[in-house]
Amino acid sequence: MSIDLRQCLIFSGYAFALAAMAYSLIGAFATRRRLSPAPDNPEVSPPITVLKPLCGAEPETYECLRSFCEQAYPKYQVVFGVSDPLDPAVAIVHRLQREFPRLDLVLAMERRQHGSNRKVSNLINMMSFARHDYLIVSDSDVKVESNYLTNLIPPLLDAGVGIVTCAYRGVPRSGIWSLLGSMYINEWFMPSVRVAALLGYRSFAFGVTIGIRRDTLAKIGGFHSVSSQLADDYRLGELTRGLGLRTVLSPVQVDTFVAERSAADLIAHELRWRRTIRNLNPYGYGFSFVTFGFPVTVLQLLLARGAVPAATIFAATSLASVFIHLNTRRRGDSGFRLLLVPIRDLLHFGLWMWSFATRRVQWRNDYFHVDRDGAAQHIESRAA
């Protein structure tokens, strides 16, 4: 390698390593910073319909759905939806209806398919049962506190707000793959959201919670407008911003359970997320490798042959990564997880490179090709 070429690589490497260090330091600050709390007693508490599309049942499904039946909120309805009457989630809903006879709990069962996104098809079928004009959409694997609705609704009372969403925390089941999956959420994805929010970026919406008014939903064409979108949550936010309305990141944080049982499950899930993000924001995703602090700064350390500036950048980035881990860990987490931080970063880097190989993604037992506009075209299904 010529001296000029090597010097050029070292110079470029320092630029990327400094960017990785800066991101990690901002991430450590952003995960430490808390969003402004919602008012404890909002002046207005309009009736709410919570939409819970379901497909199958996991060990935590009952616990998650039950948390929505224990809300300290004056008047709300929960609509559960399945496309198959034999879905095991049906028995859980019936159990909740018996446990909470005074609550307005509705089960919608409808096979009609609208577009390639089955979750959105479910939502379209559920809307005929929704009684109220304030709507909360939430995934089935989400568990919330009893003040969830009370704290979530205030921003939605502002006519200038289109979408209210919230941060979430991955709760792993037993096993290393589930743990690594939760670290993807807790130590990479959500910190990146908090960094973006800190810098004033608001182009996001998450399926764990989307609050929207019925009239706003109607103006963007209802759920039909995202019936073939893989990232239906993101598109809902994008469409409402197209109306000149703001997206608000609520201070509410919810738990979502991470169920990866194997390396294949983890890789398929994360590649779907990554390829979705790549389609939605190709340039931003292309440069997102600077968010993988450990591999980027290690490569520069090797390239610079252990030079003091490179070692300093590596040390600062590693320390910031430790702080991100400590800021996002749950009480009672084992210190062993800290040893997985560099492994998780290397996995990030490897899957980031792999994500450019194709637009094919797996969602449950179905395979899709994701178009440049985010539309998902069904390719095939595999045996369950």
DSSP letter string, 301-323: HHHTTT-HHHHHHHHHHHHHHHH
Domain end, chosen from 252, 274, 296, is at: 274
Residue 371 lies in a domain: no
Looking at the structure, do residues 292 and 270 belong to the same domain, yes or no?
A: no
Looking at the structure, do residues 162 and 298 belong to the same domain, yes or no?
A: no
Tell me the CA distances in angstroms from 58 to 112, 326, 352, one per residue in order: 24, 29, 29
CATH number for 102: 3.90.550.10
Specify the amino acid at residue 40.
D
Residue 38 lies in a domain: no
The three-point CA angle 13-16-17 to 5° equals 80
Tell me which residue range forms the domain holding 16.
3-33+280-364
Residue 372 lies in a domain: no
> Would you say residue 193 has pLDDT above 60?
yes
Looking at the structure, do residues 84 and 170 belong to the same domain, yes or no?
A: yes
Specify the amino acid at residue 131.
R
DSSP letter string, 340-365: GHHHHHHHHHHHHHHTTS-SEEEETT
Residue 369 lies in a domain: no
Question: pLDDT per residue over 69-121, tens digit each?
Answer: 999 999 999 999 999 999 999 999 999 999 999 999 999 999 888 888 889 99
Looking at the structure, do residues 155 and 224 belong to the same domain, yes or no?
A: yes
Sheet holding 376-381, edge to edge: 360-363, 366-370, 376-381
| Residue listed under structure tokens 């809307």 | 127
> Would you say residue 40 has pLDDT above 70?
no
Looking at the structure, do residues 329 and 183 belong to the same domain, yes or no?
A: no
The average confidence (pLDDT) of the chain is 89
Identify the CA nearest to 80 among candidates 67, 89, 70, 88: 89
Domain end, chosen from 227, 255, 274, is at: 274
Domain end, chosen from 226, 242, 274, is at: 274
Looking at the structure, do residues 89 and 184 belong to the same domain, yes or no?
A: yes
Looking at the structure, do residues 154 and 241 belong to the same domain, yes or no?
A: yes
Looking at the structure, do residues 106 and 229 belong to the same domain, yes or no?
A: yes
Looking at the structure, do residues 205 and 318 belong to the same domain, yes or no?
A: no
Q: How many domains does the chain have?
A: 2
Q: Which residues of 63-72 are buried (b: 16+ CB within 10 A; e: fewer)?
A: ebbebbeebe
Question: pLDDT per residue over 243-281, tens digit each?
Answer: 999 999 998 999 999 988 899 999 998 998 888 888 888
Q: What per-residue confidence (pLDDT) applies to 91?
A: 96
Query: Is the Cβ–Cβ distance between 381 and 365 less than 8 Å?
Result: yes
Of 256-260, 317-321, 360-364, minimum mean pLDDT range: 360-364
- DSSP β-ladder status, 246-258 and 161-172: parallel
